[in-house]
Amino acid sequence: MEKGLKLTDILVTIIIALIFGVIYKLWGPLYGVVATLGLHLEQLIYGMWFIAAVVAYLIIRKPGVALLAEIAAAQGEFIFGGEWGVATLIFGIGQGLAAELIFAAFRYKRYDMLIASLAGVAAAVASIGIDFYYGYIGDLALWNLLILFGTRIAGAILISGIFAHLLVQALEKTGVTNLVRPATKEDYQALG
């Protein structure tokens, strides 16, 4: 047996990630349009950029998948010519690591909506951390900074927590997730 992820896990993770990479790319202009409204309304939809990690993990349920998915999605956005260029890659690595840490903290044993939301929040916190350097957000007026925090985290819970979980639940009904998940204890018991 080979250590770590198998080629199957990797390819499935990357294909999921690249689907979201295309969405990430399309999300850029949408984000731009909402941002011109001011008052950080755009932060509510920022959460979409964390979804690849959560969805890929919820589908495949293996260590390393969240990080790989977020990097792959960012890489996808980057090579399709995303507006943020190299910044995307750095944010992707940060967000992926944060989500991965949450899943690791629960020993890759929990796959519910709460854990998805927690991972989303962790990714949001990581992105905010990078933004301190990238966007000087520490130099925003305090009330404005707090709105940014609040809306970005709320958006993360809504999109990469609740929505991602609902999406994977719907996907489970198609039976496709059984292809790629590791065998569970129940599976072995069913074998008797």
Partner 1 sequence: MAMDFSYKETWLHKINPSLKLLIMVLLFIHLLMIHNTNILINYMIGMLALYLFFTGHPWKRLLVISIPFLLIFLTSSTSMIFFGKGEITWAKWGLVHITEESFFRGLHLGFRGISFAILGIVFALTTRPVYLFYSLMQQFKLKPKYAYSFMAAIRLIPLMIEEMQTLHYALQVRGVQGERGVNGFYRKIKSYSIPLLSQSIRRAYRIAVAMEAKRFSNHGNRTYFYRLGFSKFDVIFLCYLLVIIPLSYVTATHFPYFSITDVRFGS
From the CB of 83, what's the least distance to partner 1, in Å? 5
Q: Which of 86, 104, 114, 183 touches partner 1 by CB under 8 A?
A: 86
Q: Can you tell me the distance from the alpha carbon of 147 to that of 126, in angstroms, rounded to the nearest whole number?
A: 17
Q: Does 18 bind partner 1 (CB under 8 A)?
A: yes
Q: Does 10 bind partner 1 (CB under 8 A)?
A: yes
Which residue matches tokens 């309304």? 41
Instruction: Give the DSSP per-residue string, 42-58.
Output: GGGGGGGGGHHHHHHHH
Segment lying near partner 1 (by CB under 8 A), choices 81-89, 100-108, 109-117, 120-128: 81-89
Q: Does 135 bind partner 1 (CB under 8 A)?
A: yes
Q: Are 106 and 97 in contact (CB under 8 A)?
A: no
Total site size for partner 1, rule CB under 8 A: 62
Which is nearer to partner 1, 85 or 182 (by Cβ)? Answer: 85
Q: Does 146 bind partner 1 (CB under 8 A)?
A: no
Q: Which of 52, 72, 102, 123 touches partner 1 by CB under 8 A?
A: 72
Q: Which of 1, 3, 81, 185 touches partner 1 by CB under 8 A?
A: 81
Residue 181 DSSP one-character state = S
Residues 6+ apart with CB under 8 A from 141: none
23-62: which residues touch partner 1 (CB under 8 A)?
28-29, 31-33, 35-36, 38-40, 42, 59
Structure tokens belonging to residue 34: 């909402």
Q: Which of 37, 38, 52, 45 is nearest to 168 (CA)?
A: 52
Q: Does 97 bind partner 1 (CB under 8 A)?
A: no
Structure tokens belonging to residue 128: 């905010």
